Amino acid sequence: MSSNFPPNFEQKLGFDVIRQILHDHCLSSLGQHRVTKMMFSSDASEIHTSLQQTAEMKEILQFEEKFPSQDYFDLIPELLRIRIPGTYMETDQLSELKLSVSTISDLLQFLEDRNEKFPVLYALACEAGETGTGYSPLASTPLLQSIVAQVERIVDDKSEVRDTASPELNRIRKEKIRLQSSVEHKIIQSFKIARQNGWTPDEAEVTIRNGRLVIPMINTHKRKIQGFVHDESATGHTVYVEPAEIFETNNEIRELDYAERREIVRILIEFARIIRPEIDMLIHAYHFLGKIDFIRAKARFAIQVHGMNPIHHPRANDQQAQAFFWNKAMHPLLFLSHQKQKKEITPLDIALNPDQRILIISGPNAGGKSVCLKTVGLLQYLFQCGLLPPVKEDSEFCIFDRIFIDIGDEQSIDNDLSTYSSKLINLKYFIENIDQRSLFLIDEMGTGTDPSLGGSIAEATLEALNAKKAMGVVTTHYSNLKLLASREQGIINGAMLYDLKKLKPLYQLKVGKPGSSFALEIAQAIGFPKEVLQNARSKTGKSQLDFDRELQNLEVEKQEINQKNTELKVADDFLAELISKYEKLTADLEAKKKEILLKAKEEARQLLDNSNKLIEKTIKEIRESQADKARTKEIRVELSEIKEKLLKEPGEEVQNAKSEIQNLKSEIVNRKSQIQIGPTIRPGLVGSKAPPHRFQRYFDDLNAKVTNFTLTLDLRGKRVDEAQSMLQRYIDDAILCSISEVQILHGKGNGVLRQITRDYLRSQKEVKSAKDAPLESGGAGITVVSFR
């Protein structure tokens, strides 16, 4: 295994805190032991397998149901102890053996059923025994199930040996019951006599002393019943007498107790003798359980910090150069801290390659330089320990043989070392031991002594490390180190950005240009005396201050312009979409208009033809009745005019279509005049400054639902009909708000609320899965719902 520098490397980076988080995620001492033994590796195959195992387990925990996550007991010490003939496990350990072996069997069955979906974990189940048994856990499944059945035959769910564990035990217990019944009958009769005669205290009852049934009697009457005094009260007023007639029977019961214990021990010894040949197999099965527990803890940590399985390259050799690219990398401990405070974290984009091996980061104090440095070291260490780092999946990692860090103050009173002396010792070690397969991280390089001399030594050290083709990240305030990138191939500058208008750091790394320390601006922001600052400016030199300020302002303004361009593009795309919609609707309506007109004309012709026939018939009747010919002519003219009017005028559908087109035209005109650049152009989002939309009321309602939506619904104590109504509304709101996961708190109770919850969720096609919460989070009392 590789040896990183310094010896307290993990404490420097905060990895000891991550070990503790993993330790707490484990379900057993088996997994916790593996957390303690977890080590940094430079073996590409080992790292790949470990990452794949964790990634598969993460998917299981997020999307699979019925994964065994309880009864992870460690019985290895007990198994090692009963290797000696004549030894045995007590009933409590026997119950733990049954439960844990059953869990192992369930785990193996789970992976066997999903061997194609989770091939790396399945391969773990198929590995041959570490103890030389030649058995893989999976091949041992029948033996494990047999052991579970044997233990089940011996002990019950209360860890007590069953009456049926052996015929002799059954006989002994039946005889005990018979004798105990006889004793109870006799002592009750004696107690009734004593009470009737007033020999017992008021409200006294039969009790037990020294494991025997006794009668409480007033001291002055203790001779009234023949027997043996077992105890007396603190005042001596009451004594506890065992009647002589049950004394012998109680002795028989006591002998049966001894016989029962001897028979139980015999049964346990016999069981230990049966499984003794399988102890190596069982120990290996428990090692498998420990691995699963360890991998599960790593997967839970990955879920907790949004860890992903990145692209990873083999370790570089002498002919192959190292390179990595990280997209949206986050410091996991900082992320968890910000999450508790409901604060956002600024992710880090960083890349190192043969042309840009060493990154020199400059910028203001408290601007994030050291956090950036520690993020690089911690994430690389996580990766090479087989933990999923919190980066985007398209990030690329490479493998280093060793990581060297110089972070913090290492001064030693015992050895009379100053801070700068300790840093020099570290740099000396770096120069002597680093090679091209090493990663080094140096915080505040060159500080602690005279700036000109410290800067010169730091510059020479970086040149030496660059010559070794090592990769590294360095933070500094020294100008000579910032200038080094312009003349040394393989070195590049980076700046932590600072907003001069708001006088606050942005915590963003910009690679390519050096940063300013902004010492005077920060001093001004905290209220430093103005006259002192003015004097400092005059001593510093205007050209240097103007250069740093303008360089930073240009970078911040560039970011603002990029943001405005993005907003303009969104607005332009929105307008283009609206125009496209108008053009399509116009074409559709024009085609529909023609179709409606043709249909209307045809219907009108048919209607008028039928009308003409009716009219002709009417006229004929008029003629036959010698009606007025002039009036007949008028009727014909009127009918002709009606016919022409029907053929020319469009129907109601056409008028509606024309109205829709006109409304859309008006909307486009209004949109063009109202579109403005703001934080975002998308309508309906919380805090948006988008133009008013005709559906704005609905967007506002949706925003209110999203803002007020809670991720847990509590149904406990509700009636069935009330719970069903609440559940339906809650699930509808969750789907409307595009929530990915919620929890339904229904409690365990008699299971009615849980059942109606599951029945309803199964009927909803938008529900992807509904399962019990993890045992430590509420188990069967909470249903975790994931949506598609």
pLDDT tens-digit readout, 93-141: 999 999 999 999 999 999 999 999 999 999 999 986 554 556 789 989 9
Higher-confidence residue of 633 and 481: namely 481
Smallest CA-to-CA distance from 371 within 346, 339, 402 is with: 346
Position 76 pLDDT exceeds 80? yes
> Confidence class of residue 415 from pLDDT cuts 50, 70 and 90?
very low
| Backbone torsions φ then ψ of 596, nearest 5 degrees | -65, -40
Position 316 pLDDT exceeds 90? no
* Average per-residue pLDDT for the chain: 83
**Gap between the Cα atoms of 284 and 103, Å rounded:** 14
**Gap between the Cα atoms of 234 and 270, Å rounded:** 47
> Confidence class of residue 683 from pLDDT cuts 50, 70 and 90?
very low
pLDDT of residue 543: 47
CA distances from 418 to 283, 350, 414, 422 (A): 52, 33, 11, 6
State the amino acid at position 93 in one-letter form.
Answer: Q
CA 353 to chain centre: 32
pLDDT of residue 412: 45
- In the predicted model, what is the mean pLDDT of residues 676-696? 44
pLDDT of residue 690: 44
pLDDT of residue 100: 97
**Gap between the Cα atoms of 511 and 513, Å rounded:** 6
Smallest CA-to-CA distance from 783 within 24, 767, 718 is with: 767
- Give the whole-number percent of the chain exceeding pLDDT 90: 47
pLDDT of residue 514: 80
Instruction: Confirm if 228 and 241 have CB atoms less than 8 A apart.
Output: yes
- In the predicted model, what is the mean pLDDT of residues 507-531? 75
pLDDT of residue 463: 95
| Backbone torsions φ then ψ of 42, nearest 5 degrees | -115, 10
Q: 145-149, 171-175, 472-476, 762-766: which has the minimum mean pLDDT? A: 762-766
CA distances from 545 to 535, 549, 598 (A): 13, 6, 79
- In the predicted model, what is the mean pLDDT of residues 582-595? 72
- In the predicted model, what is the mean pLDDT of residues 174-188? 92
Higher-confidence residue of 623 and 124: namely 124
Higher-confidence residue of 84 and 570: namely 84
What is residue 398's DSSP assignment? -
Higher-confidence residue of 521 and 379: namely 379
What pTM, to 2 d.p., does this model score? 0.66
176-204 burial, b at 16+ Cβ within 10 Å, e below that, comes to beebeeebeeebeebbeebbeeebbeeeb
**Gap between the Cα atoms of 656 and 652, Å rounded:** 6
Tokens 């309602």, residue located = 701
> Confidence class of residue 749 from pLDDT cuts 50, 70 and 90?
confident
Instruction: Confirm if 754 and 780 have CB atoms less than 8 A apart.
Output: yes
CA distances from 523 to 273, 362, 367, 476 (A): 79, 18, 14, 19
Instruction: Confirm if 474 and 361 have CB atoms less than 8 A apart.
Output: yes
Higher-confidence residue of 578 and 32: namely 32
Position 550 pLDDT exceeds 80? no
Instruction: Confirm if 695 and 704 have CB atoms less than 8 A apart.
Output: no
563-598 burial, b at 16+ Cβ within 10 Å, e below that, comes to eeeebeeebeebeeeeeeeeeeeeeebeeebeebbe
> Confidence class of residue 682 from pLDDT cuts 50, 70 and 90?
very low
Residues 6+ apart with CB under 8 A from 548: 516, 517, 518
| Backbone torsions φ then ψ of 356, nearest 5 degrees | -135, 75
Higher-confidence residue of 208 and 256: namely 256
Position 772 pLDDT exceeds 60? yes
CA distances from 720 to 153, 712, 756, 781 (A): 41, 18, 8, 16
pLDDT of residue 706: 72
Q: 146-150, 156-160, 491-495, 592-596: which has the minimum mean pLDDT? A: 592-596
> Confidence class of residue 751 from pLDDT cuts 50, 70 and 90?
confident
> Confidence class of residue 90 from pLDDT cuts 50, 70 and 90?
very high
CA distances from 310 to 260, 301, 302, 579 (A): 62, 16, 12, 42
Higher-confidence residue of 554 and 599: namely 599
Q: What is the DSSP string of 66-91?
A: ----S-----HHHHHHTTSTT----H
Higher-confidence residue of 309 and 364: namely 309
**Gap between the Cα atoms of 295 and 290, Å rounded:** 9
| Backbone torsions φ then ψ of 217, nearest 5 degrees | -130, 150
**Gap between the Cα atoms of 275 and 253, Å rounded:** 33
Position 499 pLDDT exceeds 90? no
Beta bridge partners of 241: 215, 229
Q: 212-226, 255-269, 351-365, 494-508: which has the minimum mean pLDDT? A: 494-508
| Backbone torsions φ then ψ of 361, nearest 5 degrees | -100, 125
Higher-confidence residue of 78 and 620: namely 78
Give the number of other CB atoms < 10 A from CB of residue 122: 19
**Token pair of 705 as six digits:** 């639902």
655-664 burial, b at 16+ Cβ within 10 Å, e below that, comes to eebeeebeeb
